[in-house]
Amino acid sequence: MPAISSNDIKNGVTLKVEDGLFTIIEFQHVKPGKGGAFVRTKLRNLRSGSVIERTYRADERLEQAIIDKRDMQFLYRDGSDYVFMDQGNYDQITVPAKNLGDAANYLKESGVALVIQHDDEIIGVEMPASVELVIAETEPGIQGDRVSGARKPATLETGLVVQVPLFVGPGETIKVDTRSGEYITRA
């Protein structure tokens, strides 16, 4: 693993800390009038998503983790695991559901996702900001029910349940925000 100086850190750099793999989401170089300079950081755990704060002395050596991000196509579900295919060399890899997190709710067969890998271990999946999914099941809108902003639950093709407007019916394709899990619009 390459070592970097705490003075060289930037947002998005991934560090290997004793607690696991963390990516820097925020940093601040501080030079007080008295005493030595230091770097205050906010780090996000790549596996759990939790955020911690750490402070490092100026010019302290940190271990940088090399992260590989690849576009991979989701092929199918194999029990509780997900099978992806590398679009460059057509290798297939199996990813446990726990490594996907919320991304599993938005994956449909033949869809493409950005898979994050460290030392042959899949540690996460980045989805686009929104995805288009088909509504598998929802109640029909009731005639005369025209309350502004009224919502009803709808089950999507991936099994995710979202709140949609009353005028949306089964079989329709909708856009869903992958960050919040909310309905955006009809596609």
CATH number of the domain within which 26 lies: 2.30.30.30
Contacts of 49 (CB under 8 A, 6+ apart): 101
Report pLDDT for 147.
63
Mean pLDDT on 133-149: 75
The more confidently predicted of residues 103 and 40 is 40
Domain boundary among 47, 63, 79: 63
Residue 154 near residue 176 (C-beta atoms within 8 A): no
Number of folded domains in the chain?
3
The domain spanning residue 182 has which CATH number? 2.40.50.140
Partners of 78 in the β-ladder: 81
- Is there a single domain that holds both residue 9 and residue 22? yes
Q: Would you call 53 helix, strand, or coil by DSSP?
A: strand
Give the domain range for residue 17: 3-63
7-51 tens-digit pLDDT: 888 888 888 888 888 889 999 998 888 888 899 999 988 877 788
66-78 tens-digit pLDDT: 888 888 898 988 8
- Is there a single domain that holds both residue 102 and residue 145? no
- Is there a single domain that holds both residue 118 and residue 150? no
Residue 166 near residue 150 (C-beta atoms within 8 A): yes
- Is there a single domain that holds both residue 47 and residue 76? no
The answer to pTM > 0.85 is no
Alpha carbon dihedral 83, 85, 90, 91, in 10-degree steps, equals -50
Helix then strand then coil, % of the chain, to nearest 5:
5, 55, 40
Residue 150, CA distances (Å) to 66, 91, 124, 132 in order = 47, 46, 35, 22
The DSSP string of 10-53 is -TT-EEEETTEEEEEEEEEEE--SSS--EEEEEEEETTT--EEE
- Is there a single domain that holds both residue 94 and residue 138? no
Q: How far apart are CA 157 and CA 134, in angstroms?
A: 6
- Is there a single domain that holds both residue 30 and residue 10? yes
